[in-house]
Structure 1
Amino acid sequence: MTPDLISLATRVGEALMSRHWQLGTAESCTGGLVSALVTEVAGSSAWFDRGIVSYSNEAKVELLGVSPLTLHAHGAVSEQTVREMLSGVLARSSAQVAVAVSGIAGPGGGTAEKPVGTVCFGWQRRGVEAVCETLLLPGSRAEVRRAAAQIALAGVLRHALD
């Protein structure tokens, strides 16, 4: 864990603590990296409720309530799926803020439509419409995952805590 990512997670925690809010995460391609960064911060138990790693489609359905129809129509790497991941983590937690990530970290698994490095992000505050975006991140598998975790946390500050 690099100091810049720990610093970002610390800022997220400070912002959540100032509002007496908690964070929930729903992760796929990051495999729990966002949650790991958050829990590197001492005292994060005061502002981090839970992280759900749903790597397989079956896990997305079982753990987060993502519709099999959504997965069939749009795929796991889609803003539609990320929206349902957000809804799922908020419904299954006491968090006021959620972040969700699903993507193709590589080196394989990409397609012409969704190349390696395609990552879908979502952020939502309870009772507020979700904000989602899809980015194409360059680099190796490790670099894509690290960048995705950084973007996920930065988005909590930008979208969910504005």
Structure 2
Amino acid sequence: MKEDLIKPTFEKIKDRVEQFVYGEGETSIEEKVAKILVDKSMTISVSESCTGGLVSAHLINYPGISSVFMEGCVTYSNESKISRLGVKKETLDKYGAVSKETAKEMAEGIAKNFKTNVGLSTTGIAGPQGGSDEKPVGLVYVGIHINGETTVKKFLFNGNRQEIRLKTTKNLLNELRLKLLEL
């Protein structure tokens, strides 16, 4: 009897908060995102700077991701951003490697170069050195390019180097999840 009352209430709550909750129980964010990508047959490529391959590593934890995961590039240097992703030298000179403009060009470049539906990018300052007043440690930009449309989100994380890299990864995957739910 109680179950008959609980189930409709649970469904109503779930409908209202679904965008904020990516899974139940042991479901990880990368599982949720990878499943959506595989179910929708959407190919993905990833260009990473500050995360150093962590986004790619999280995605490939999902069995079956090889059907949609095409390429992951760690483009740490400006030279590799230019040669591998097509980031303009002028963009790097004017805005720097850690900027929304660079994150945008990275996400678009990886998707274009590897002909994928989705292109992701990360660029930031994980620390402990390298920060300034203008661009402090923890400043991160993530880019998401999906089927010709690109968005960039800015984050300012605290924590040590590994915590900033992990927070960047998890937040990027959640942003991608939200975008994929809109499709």
Which residue of 2 is the match for residue 101 of structure 1? 122
1:48-94 CA distances to partner (integer Å, 9 max, x unpaired)?
11111100111100110101100000000000001110111011113
Q: 2:151 aligns with which of 116, 127, 131?
A: 131
Question: Which residue does the alignment assign to 1:11?
Answer: 32
Distance in 1 of aligned mates of 2:117 and 2:137: 32
Shift of residue 6 of structure 1? 7.5
Q: CA RMSD in A?
A: 1.6
**Total equivalences in the alignment:** 158
Aligned to 1:51, which of 69, 72, 76? 72
**TM-score between both structures, scaled by the size of structure 2:** 0.82
Alignment partners' CA distance in 2, 1:45 and 1:17 = 9
| Aligned ranges 1:28-107 → 2 under 5 Å | 28-107=49-128
Structure 2: segments with no counterpart, 5+ residues: 1-24
Which of 134, 156, 167 aligns to 1:147? It is 167
Kept after mapping to 1: 8 A contact 2:110/2:119: yes
User: Does the residue aligned with 1:89 lie in a helix, a strand or coil?
Assistant: helix
DSSP 3-state at the match of 1:114: coil
CA separation of 1:22/1:5 partners in 2, compared to 1, >3 Å: closer, same or farther? farther
C-alpha separation in 1, matches of 2:46 and 2:158:
23
* Runs of at least 4 residues off by over 2 Å: none
**Are the equivalent residues in 2 in contact too, given 1:25–1:35 (CA < 8 A)?**
yes
* Gap runs ≥5 in structure 1: none
TM-fit CA distance, 1:47 = 2.0
Separation in 2, partners of 1:141, 1:5? 26
Structure 1 residues 43 and 134, CA gap change in structure 2 (3 angstroms): same
Letter in 2 for 1:124: H
Amino acid at match of 2:138: G
Q: CA deviation at 1:127?
A: 2.1
Give how far 1:5 is off.
10
Mean CA deviation greater in 63-72 or 87-96? 87-96
CA distance in 2, matches of 1:156, 1:5: 20
Code of the residue aligned with 2:133 in structure 1: it is A
User: Larger Cα Rg: Structure 1 or Structure 2?
Assistant: 2
Percent identity between matched residues is 37
Greater RCO, 1 or 2 (C-alpha within 8 Å, sep 6+):
1
Distance of aligned partners of 1:92 and 1:66 in 2 relative to their CA distance in 1, 3 Å threshold: same
Structure 1 residue 160: deviation in Å?
4.4
